[in-house]
Amino acid sequence: MVVAFYFDEPVRNFMGAASEPRDAQFHAQGQPIGDWPEHFALGLVLAGLAWWRGSKKWTRIFLAMLVALAITGLVGRGIKIGTGRARPSVRAEEVWNRFSTKYHAFPSGHVAVSTAFFGVLFFANRRAGLACLPIPILIGFSRMYLNAHYLSDVVFAAILGMLCAVLVERLLLPQSGRQKDNVH
């Protein structure tokens, strides 16, 4: 985490030099997909389908994913307001306002909730979770590319999301609900 702070400016400068207007438009259009309402809606649909099909195991997994998303969102929001870190796009001369979204960079909410959401899936079913883990990685890259977050915002968000995923997985998913990776 500490190393990420050291690389904040070099990564920001690299992203700025490599950015293309058409790429920025692509990333901007994809941002709503990575936010919590879309993850929440997906989780509800998946939990509903699993319940309808009579799968208690998958219903429980999808509900645990929603709980992880909610906890991470609340904790992340508290940290954002508490730290009041300016986004990379904020000019130094702008007046600081803790409640303005311009000062809610740390941690990245998009990355935190996505990591928590898919992290629970990873712990419950390695194969399905591994297939989905690139989603938070791409969201993090996109947030830095759009100059909405620094590298440290994204790294801390991923750590926060994984910690919440571990907590929820340990508390809400019984041992039998987890996929065993026994190698004989």
Q: What does the pLDDT look like over 29-63, one tens digit per residue?
A: 555 566 778 888 888 899 999 999 998 899 999 99
Query: Is 44 within a domain?
Result: yes
Query: Is 77 within a domain?
Result: yes
Residue 23 has pLDDT above 80, yes or no: no
| Domain tally, the chain | 1
pLDDT band at residue 11 under the 50/70/90 scheme = low
CB 117 within 8 A of CB 162: no
Helical H segments across the chain, by residue range: 2-6, 8-18, 21-30, 36-52, 56-83, 109-124, 126-132, 134-145, 151-172
Place of tokens 């058409």: 22
For the chain, the straight-line distance linking the first and the last C-alpha, in angstroms and rounded, comes to 36
**What is the extent of the structural domain holding 58?**
8-88+97-177
pLDDT band at residue 94 under the 50/70/90 scheme = low
DSSP string across 40-91: HHHHHHHHHHHHHTT-HHHHHHHHHHHHHHHHHHHHHHHHHHHH-PPPTTS-
Query: Is 46 within a domain?
Result: yes
CB 103 within 8 A of CB 97: yes
Backbone angles phi, psi at 91, to 5 degrees: -80, 145
Average pLDDT estimate for 117-138: 91
CB 111 within 8 A of CB 72: no
Query: Is 24 within a domain?
Result: yes
d(CA 116, CA 122): 10
Query: Is 121 within a domain?
Result: yes
CB 150 within 8 A of CB 105: yes
Query: Is 3 within a domain?
Result: no
Entry pTM: 0.77
